[in-house]
Amino acid sequence: MRAEPAASAPGGEASPRPVKAPLPTPVLNRKSGGRLLTDTRFWPTEVWKSPWSLPRYRAGAMWLAGIVLGIAAAGFAVGELAVWAEKLLALLGRTSLPPAVAAWVWVLIKLTCVIGVIVVNGLWAVWWERKISAHIQSRFGPMYAGGFHGWAQTILDSIKLLLKEDVTPAAADQPMHLLAPIMAIAPCVMAFAPVLFGDELAAAKLDVGVLYIFAFASISVIGIVMAGWASGNKYSLLGGLRAAAQIVSYELPRGFSVVPVIMFAGSLDLAVIDQAQAGYWLGFVPRWFVFYPVVGQLAFIFFLIASVAETNRTPFDIPEAESELVAGFHTEFSGIKWAMFFLMEYGYVLLSSFLLAVFFLGGGAAPLPFLDFIPSWIWMVSKAMLMMFVFLWFRWTFPRMRVDQLMDFNWKILLPWSFANIGFAGVLVYLHRSGWGPG
Amino acid sequence: MQSEELIVTEGGLEMDTMFVNMGPQHPSTHGVLRLGLTLAGEVITKAFPDIGYLHRGTEKLMETRSYHQCVVLTDRWDYCSAMTNNLAFCLSAERLFGTQVPPRAQALRVVMCELNRIASHLILLGTYGIDIGALTPFLYTFREREMILDLYEKCCGARLTYNYIRLGGVAADIDSGWVAKCREFLEFFKPRLDEYDTLLSFNPIFLARTKDIGIISKETAVAWGLSGPNLRGSGVSYDVRKSEPYCGYEQYDFEVPLGASGSCWDRYFCRVQEMRQSVRIVEQALAELPTGELMAKGVPKIPKPPAGEAYAHVEAPRGDLGIFLVSDGGAAPYRLHVRAPCFINLAILQEILVGKKVADVIAVLGSFDIVLGEVDR
Amino acid sequence: MIGYFKTVFLSTWAFIEGLWITLRYLFKPAVTVQYPTEKLVPYDAFRGALLFDPATCIACSLCAKACPSACIALASQTHPETKKRVPKPEWYTLDLGKCNFCGLCQEACPTKPKSVWHSLDYEYSFSSRDEMVRCWKPGFPLAGRVWDPRRKEFRDLESHIPVREVEARK
C-alpha cells in the first residue's frame, strides 16, 4: 500500500508526509511575483480578531473619512450650485444671442447635465454596488483597475460594452429588438427633468412634478415588455410579462404612499415639498416628513418597498431572476443595448433615491442646525446615496419573492395600508389645523 | 417528449402549453441536469429530468483498475463529499478482504466524513440561497467551507479529491496542530449557523418560498426510495449511521434530525440541523481520539481478494450511498455497482413538479441537493 | 387582528435581524486572498504538480504501475556495450493533463529521497496538449521540458523559468 510504514508516530507532531524529500520544493514558480502568505492569516478567525491591527483596514477607514471630509470641504468651497446656475443663465442672457436661441441653448445645457448625471450614475452605482456587495460578503470586489479599489472598473467595463458585438438573435423581432432599449431608457431621462438635486436646483420647474415623474417612470415598462417579446426567447418573454404585471401593480401603492406627503406640503411641486420640510422642532429635530408620527414612517416604508419593486431589484427582482429566468428580459441583449437596460435600472434607482430624499428626508435641509453651512446639493446627494445604499443593502440581504406572493403582498398588504395611511394623514392634518401638536 | 399541446383549463379556457428546456446550461440546475418542462402559463403540467451529460463510466473504468486505484476514481462521483465516497468503497472492499481497520483510523474516518458532511451541506445552503435569490449566504458558507478545505489540505494534501481513506485505513495522520485548528473552526462555525438561520432559514421570504412547497409524504418518499435528508425531511427516521453503524458511529452521541411535513424547507432545515449534529460528532471524536496504527496490517500493494461479493453502505451527505462489489479473485473488481443517492432522489422530480410554478421548480430542485457527478457517474 | 399585527411585527423583526447581520459584515475586514499579488503557500502535504528527479530514479516503473490514469511513462537506459538494462531512466514523461493528483506514484516510489513527488506548485496552465506532457532526461532542468512538435525539439516551460524555494505553510 504505502512505500514506507507510517513514519509519523500516531498523535505525534510529525509531518503527515511519509518521507520529506530533501530536494528543493519549487512552489509558485511563475515569473510574476506576489507576496507569499505562509500562515493562516486568511482564516476569518484570524482576520476578525483585531481588525484595527490590519494596516489594510486602517488605511480603508482613513480613506473613507478623507473622502467624506473632502466632499464636505469641496461643497463648502463650491457653494450653492443653484446660484451658479442662475449666474450662468444671466451670462447667457447677456450674450448677443436672440432670446429664443438662448433659451434653447439653456435647455441643451440642462439636458446634457441630466444625461451626464444618469451616465455617471451608471458608472458610479455599478462600482458602488460591487464594492458594497463585496464587503457585505467578506470580499474585496474590484481592486485592480485604476489603482485605488478598482475605481476605473466600470469605466473600462463601459468601454468594453461599447466595443462588444451587438448580437441580435435570429428568432428576434429585429426592429423591436432595436427599439426596446431606447423605449426603456428615454422615459428614464425624461423623468429626471423635475428632479431636485438641491434646493431650487432642477432642470425644469414643474407645478405637477410628482405626477410628471410617476407618469414617465411607468412608461419604461413598455420597453421591458418589448424587450421580452422581441427577444424570441421563452425565458425573456416570461421575464417581460412578469415585469409588466409587477411594475404596473406597484405603481399604485407607490403613488398612494406619496399622497400624505402631498397633503402635508399642499403641492405637487418638488421644490415646494422640499421647502415645506425646512426648519426644526425644538431647535434640533428636523421637520422632515419621515418624522411625522406614524404616517411619515409608514409612507416612507411603503414608498421604499414600492420603489424597490419598481426598479426590479431583490427581493422583487422576479423579471430578471437569474436563477429562474437566467436574466429575464435582457438575456438576449448584448453590448450597448444591454448597457441601456442597466443605465435604466440604475437611473431609476437614483430617481427613487432622490425622490425618497425629497419626499421624506427633507431634501436639501441639514439634519442639524449647525450643519447649515454645507450647501443643500451636498445634503441632497448624500441623502440620495444613503437611500441608494439601502437599496443595495436590501438586495444583498434578502431572498427573492415568488410572482404570486409578490402580487399578494402588493394587493393585500401594501395597497390597503397605503390607503389607510392617507386616512391617518387626514387625521393628522385635521389635528394640526385644529391647533394640536407642535408647529 | 417535447410537447406543446392545447389544454383546457378548469374554467373551460383553451390554452397553449409551452415547452421550456431548463438546463443543461441553466444557472440553477446545479450542473448539467436538463429538465423538460411543459408549462401552461407559469404552471407546470409535465416535467421530466434528463440526465447523462456528465457520464464518465467510472463503474466500468474500475473493472480495469486495482483496488487502490479505484479509490481515486470514487472521488469523482460526488465531488462535494469525496470522503464519504472513499469510505463507502473502502468499507465494501474491506468487507471483501475481511480487513480489520485500526481504531485510530476509524476515528479519523469519522472526523473527516463529518467535516465533509458540513462542507457539503454548506454548498447546499449557499446554492439554495442563490436559487431562492439571496446571494450573500453563498459567500458566507463558502468562507466556512474554505476553512474545512484548508484543514483537509493540511492533513491529506488535497482540497477536493482527497484519496484519503484507503483500503485498510487512512492515508495520513493528524497532529495536535490540526486538532487545535479544527477546534478553532468548530468554535467559529457554531455561531455562524445561527446567522444562516437568520439570513435564510427563518427569513419570512425564504419561508414563504419553501415552507409549503414540494411536499412529499412519508409513503411517497419511501416508495420512491429517497434517502438521506430528503427522506428524513419527510419524517422517516432512517440514518445508516444509526441503523447499521459503521466506523464506530455507535460510540458517538448524536441525534437524527427529522422534518415535520416533507416540504422543501424541512429538507433544507434537516441539513442545517445535521450540521449541528456533525459538529457534535467531530467534537466527541476529537476529544477521545485513540492512538495506534493508521493502516491495517497486511494489505498488499496489488490486493487480490477472494472471489465473492460484498455490499456496504454509508450515510453520505446526500443519502444512502452503497457500493456493491463483485470479485472473481482478480486484481480488479469484476463488477462494481453504485447505489447513488442523488440518482435515486432525482427520479421523484417528475412526480412532485407537476402543478408547481416555474419559480417553485428551482426551490424543489435545489432542496434535493443533487450533484450531477454522482447522478451520471 | 392581534395575530395579523404579530405576524407583521415578527416578519419585520426577522428582516431587521438579517439586515443587521449583513451590516455587521460590511464593516468587518474581507477574508479573501488577493491572488496574483498575494499567494497562499500550500501546506507541506499538498499535492501539487508532479516533479521528477532523474538523479535518484532507479527506473523500476512502480510509479507507472501505481498510476490509475496511466499518465507516467518511462524507459530505462541500456548499457551501450552489454545492451543490458541499467537502473537509470533514459527518459521519463508525466502527462499532467491526465494526472489525478492522487499521490499513489509518490507513495509507490521506493527511492529515498523520492524521485517522483508532488511539489507545492499549483500555478500551472497549458495552452496546448503538448505542454501538458513534461519530459525529463538526464541533464534536464528540475521542472522538466516539453516537446515542441513544430520545432521538433524539447523546450523549456515558458512560464516556469525561475524556481523559488519556499517553506511550506505550517
Determine the pLDDT at residue C165.
56
In a structure prediction context, what are the per-residue pLDDT tens digits for chain A, which is 439 residues long? 333 333 333 333 343 444 444 444 555 555 556 667 666 567 777 778 787 887 778 888 888 899 888 888 888 887 777 777 778 777 877 777 787 887 888 888 888 888 888 888 888 888 888 888 888 888 888 888 877 788 888 889 888 988 988 888 888 888 888 888 888 888 888 888 888 887 777 777 888 888 888 888 888 888 888 888 888 887 888 888 888 888 888 888 888 888 888 888 888 888 888 888 877 777 777 888 888 778 888 888 899 998 888 888 778 877 776 666 777 788 888 888 888 888 888 888 899 999 898 888 887 777 777 777 778 888 888 888 888 889 888 888 888 888 888 888 888 888 888 888 888 888 888 887 887 765 5
Q: Could you tell me the CATH superfamily of domain B58-376?
A: Cytochrome-c3 Hydrogenase, chain B (1.10.645.10)
CB contact under 8 A, C33 and A37: yes
**Chain C residues near residue B140 by CB distance under 8 angstroms:** 25
Nearest chain C Cα distance for residue B222, angstroms: 35
The low-confidence residues of chain B, meaning pLDDT below 50, are 1
**Chain A residues near residue C113 by CB distance under 8 angstroms:** 19-23
CB contact under 8 A, C43 and B172: no
Report domain extents, chain B: 58-376
Determine the pLDDT at residue B254.
87
Considering the four listed CATH numbers 3.40.50.1000, 3.30.930.10, 3.30.70.3270, 1.10.150.530, the one that applies to the domain covering C50-156 is 3.30.70.3270
Residue A18 touches partner C, C-beta closer than 8 Å: yes
Residue A78 touches partner B, C-beta closer than 8 Å: no
Residue B68 buriedness (CB in 10 A; 0-12 / 13-18 / 19+): buried
| Strand ranges for A124-238 from DSSP E | none
Determine the pLDDT at residue B118.
92
Please name which of B295, B240, B234, B242 lies closest in space to residue B268, comparing C-alpha atoms. Answer: B234
pTM comes to 0.84
**Chain B residues near residue A402 by CB distance under 8 angstroms:** 208-209, 357, 359-360
Cβ neighbours of residue B68 closer than 8 Å, sequence gap 6 or more = A1, B166, B167, B301, B303, C66, C104
Determine the pLDDT at residue B2.
52
How far is residue A156 CA from its own chain's centroid?
A: 20
Determine the pLDDT at residue A22.
47
Least CB–CB distance from C120: residue in A2, A25, A30: A25
Neighbours of chain B (3+ CB pairs under 8 A): A, C
How far is residue B36 CA from its own chain's centroid?
A: 24
Please name which of B164, B78, B183 lies closest in space to residue B120, comparing C-alpha atoms. Answer: B78
Least CB–CB distance from B158: residue in C21, C66, C101: C101
Residue B57 near residue B63 (C-beta atoms within 8 A): no
**Nearest residue on chain B to A136, alpha-carbon basis:** B136
Nearest chain B Cα distance for residue C14, angstroms: 6
- Which of C8, C50, C164 best probes binding to A when mutated, by most A CB atoms within 10 angstroms? C164
Rg (CA), chain B: 21
Across the beta sheet with C145-148, the strand order is C72-78, C85-95, C133-136, C145-148, C153-156
A280 torsion bin: left (phi>0), alpha (psi -120 to 50), beta (else)? beta
How far is residue A228 CA from its own chain's centroid?
A: 23
Distances (CA, A) of A218 to A207, A301, A316, B162, B354: 19, 20, 16, 55, 35
Cβ neighbours of residue B293 closer than 8 Å, sequence gap 6 or more = A6, A10, B102, B104, B105, B169
A375 SS3 class: coil
CB contact under 8 A, C38 and A37: yes
CA angle, B195 as apex, B192 and B197 as ends, to 5°?
A: 115
Query: With a CB-CB cutoff of 8 Å, which residues 371-410 of chain A face chain C?
Result: 393-394, 396-398
Determine the pLDDT at residue B10.
62
Neighbours of chain C (3+ CB pairs under 8 A): A, B
Distance of alpha carbon B245 from alpha carbon B370, whole angstroms: 24
Please name which of B352, B340, B323, B343 lies closest in space to residue B221, comparing C-alpha atoms. Answer: B352
What are the tens digits of pLDDT across the range A248-274?
Answer: 888 888 888 888 888 888 888 888 888
Report domain extents, chain C: 1-31, 50-156
Helix B358-368, helix B103-132: angle, nearest 10: 170
B362 SS3 class: helix
Determine the pLDDT at residue C164.
57
Cβ neighbours of residue A174 closer than 8 Å, sequence gap 6 or more = A168
In a structure prediction context, what are the per-residue pLDDT tens digits for chain C, which is 170 residues long? 888 888 888 888 888 888 898 888 888 888 888 877 777 778 878 888 888 878 788 888 888 888 888 888 888 888 888 878 878 888 888 888 888 888 888 888 888 777 888 877 777 777 778 778 888 887 777 777 788 778 887 777 765 545 555 566 66
CB contact under 8 A, A399 and B291: no
pLDDT, mean over chain A: 80
Residue B167 near residue B312 (C-beta atoms within 8 A): no
Please name which of A147, A150, A146 lies closest in space to residue A128, comparing C-alpha atoms. Answer: A150
**Nearest residue on chain C to B153, alpha-carbon basis:** C46
- Which of A8, A15, A25, A41 best probes binding to C when mutated, by most C CB atoms within 10 angstroms? A25
